[in-house]
Structure 1
């Protein structure tokens, strides 16, 4: 068990339902000493206050569309040794924080970042990546069973995802936190570059996993169709101004990004998720954002002061054992009821329900604290699995529960 105290910061705006689910997951973290800080708009604060453990939360009301400012307010309240970040549309695995914080026992480590699973709860959105001074990200090879401490070469940084990262509190506060010039997008990447330029190491922690749903926002619809690229363009331009001194490269880099976004928008149109006019309007927003980014003020960072309140330990609801329930599709109701009963008493419980089909698998976290996986007994779970494969029921349960054993 780690001895490092962590402050978990969650920023939320316009998504009270997903915030409540995120908090339900954070409330069941295992093997970690932590406090929870929520920076949210009025509806988000109300959603947090409606939860049974609301008195154990540090709540900060904030309603501007600037994720960097919001995160800095969270850092200002953080009294832990490290500050961990997770998005309001994500849910952590029970041992997420335990794994994410442990590498800080190495004095060289300034920051950590974990792996991110996507909407089906199985496939990965992001693993290990590095980023260069142009903002381009590249896959990095790391050991996927233990933390890897990296000090990248000059001009590169280890990229951490804003929904799954942690930084030493004193270092982050001394650097002024996140740059408010990034209202959305590349905010954590800018921090990664600043850390790397100062010679700090970052640990990639594969077993620190979160599930990220890409919930609807003012920039995308429920089916993940992009509707607004203004801040993407603005942040890209700010990033180039700060980290890419060769201005001759800027036009080509902006054009490269614009073409990539256009391809994505055209694919949305082909898929029936956008109209032709939407492509034109959204790209115009990108262009306007780039122009604004050329002159958006970038002011010197101001250190964030010590928190006004002391560390407020959160009493995790995961106070019991780790258990697995499994059965065929016709027993799912009974299994879910039994799992909910056990979760109520502090058990970390996973339910596996298989049909006699080859349906693909999915994993989701339920508001009552249960991890629920369903799919065909002979269907695919991991992306590289065959579409159909023969399994005995007991072997399939063993395989699927073993896949998540390290993080639950």
Structure 2
């Protein structure tokens, strides 16, 4: 990719070393040149790094504080690329993620970019294009799923980028002071979006720049997505509303937020994931956090420094191929052996394993670095599809290969 923009991929990790390893395994398969990797991690994450491919080519920043904004700023300070891209440690990028995410920056007016995020099943979307206002409320944007859309923000009406799938020109980020450390866990990227909107910034939304987000357990959320604590969410809302929302509206917006969080907690309780006392505890934490957020001093952000270390290109395998293997459930062992052989050769591997059923499809990136799509031959692989559709095996393989070919990078005719 002669003349391609240099990209720094920043990953912040705290308390999830296994997820970090899987994320880095996915990043190692990216089809983009040149990019570097900056990992900002706690002790557990740093200890996990030696077992990761090309670990010697990762810029590792020690960071133990529970503050994602400050951690991201530490990553920006170390980033030497013209573009800084962010992905969470419990996410995995599609191999073509950077190709699509960075493409919009060819227009010099573009200062930010965002992509789409898929959920745990690898099919449904957690987030797509949206606008966000000064009350933190999002409005979906109708986008062409096959092309990049450039959008200019206006004060109080920002183009939303998701923290696990976003990129910015480093020069813009540094001039703005990066992310505000008053947001220790939540709303940090939304605050940045609104600060960019004040400048009338242009954001590129790239639907084909996709990552898979696992929602792994953390200090604030269990693996089943039930909240453990809402105090930092409350604190971030206090900071956000005080900074962006008109004073006359804040009380009503805060009341709406409290009602929304209570409904969320009650849904978990009805599902058996929380008990009534948990709901009371969570709401008390939300209120206490809000009071804490009101007391957090708001300081002007200073520009971030230039990196002290040069750009560290992540090693590429230009000979690597994107391989598609297909079979039925009874071919599991054969497919597993073939996939491992291809991975050992450094190739990117996708496995389609379809049963004679109408089971919904799932997509997973395994700990061995293999993309696996499983489900029924006649089942849904897109939630807009009919419940059952009759396919021949060869026809379904062709259709699924075409569906993901621009994400996975293999020939749709494979």
Residues 139 and 295 from structure 1, CA distance in 2 versus in 1: closer, same or farther, beyond 3 angstroms? same
Is 1:120 matched with 2:121?
A: yes
Match of 2:25 in 1: 24
Match of 1:175 in 2: 176
Partners of 2:333 and 2:318 in 1: how far apart? 23
1:363-407, Cα deviation, whole Å (9 max, x unpaired): 011222211111111111111222222111011111112111111
- How far residue 56 of structure 1 moved from its aligned partner, in angstroms, is 0.6
Partners of 1:148 and 1:386 in 2: how far apart? 29
CA contact under 8 A between 1:92 and 1:211: conserved in structure 2?
yes
SS at 1:289 equivalent: helix
Partners of 2:155 and 2:286 in 1: how far apart? 30
1:201-260, Cα deviation, whole Å (9 max, x unpaired): 10101010000010001111111111211111111111111112x212111101101111
TM-score, normalised to structure 1's length? 0.98
- How far residue 352 of structure 1 moved from its aligned partner, in angstroms, is 0.2
Match of 1:10 in 2: 11
Match of 1:306 in 2: 306
Match of 1:49 in 2: 50
- How far residue 360 of structure 1 moved from its aligned partner, in angstroms, is 1.2
Match of 2:345 in 1: 345
Match of 1:59 in 2: 60
Unaligned segments of structure 2, at least 5 residues: 409-414
Equivalent positions of 1:288-307 (< 5 A) are 288-307=288-307
Match of 2:366 in 1: 366
Give the number of equivalent residue pairs.
407
- How far residue 152 of structure 1 moved from its aligned partner, in angstroms, is 2.6
Partners of 2:190 and 2:316 in 1: how far apart? 31
- How far residue 49 of structure 1 moved from its aligned partner, in angstroms, is 2.0
SS at 1:8 equivalent: strand
TM-score, normalised to structure 2's length? 0.96
Partners of 2:370 and 2:402 in 1: how far apart? 17
Partners of 2:264 and 2:182 in 1: how far apart? 26
SS at 1:352 equivalent: strand
Partners of 1:316 and 1:166 in 2: how far apart? 21
- How far residue 297 of structure 1 moved from its aligned partner, in angstroms, is 1.2
Unaligned segments of structure 1, at least 5 residues: none
- How far residue 317 of structure 1 moved from its aligned partner, in angstroms, is 5.0
Residues 243 and 319 from structure 1, CA distance in 2 versus in 1: closer, same or farther, beyond 3 angstroms? farther
Equivalent positions of 1:61-210 (< 5 A) are 61-210=62-211
CA contact under 8 A between 1:29 and 1:318: conserved in structure 2?
no
* Runs of 4+ off more than 6 Å: none
CA contact under 8 A between 1:27 and 1:317: conserved in structure 2?
no
Partners of 1:315 and 1:343 in 2: how far apart? 16
CA contact under 8 A between 1:318 and 1:348: conserved in structure 2?
no
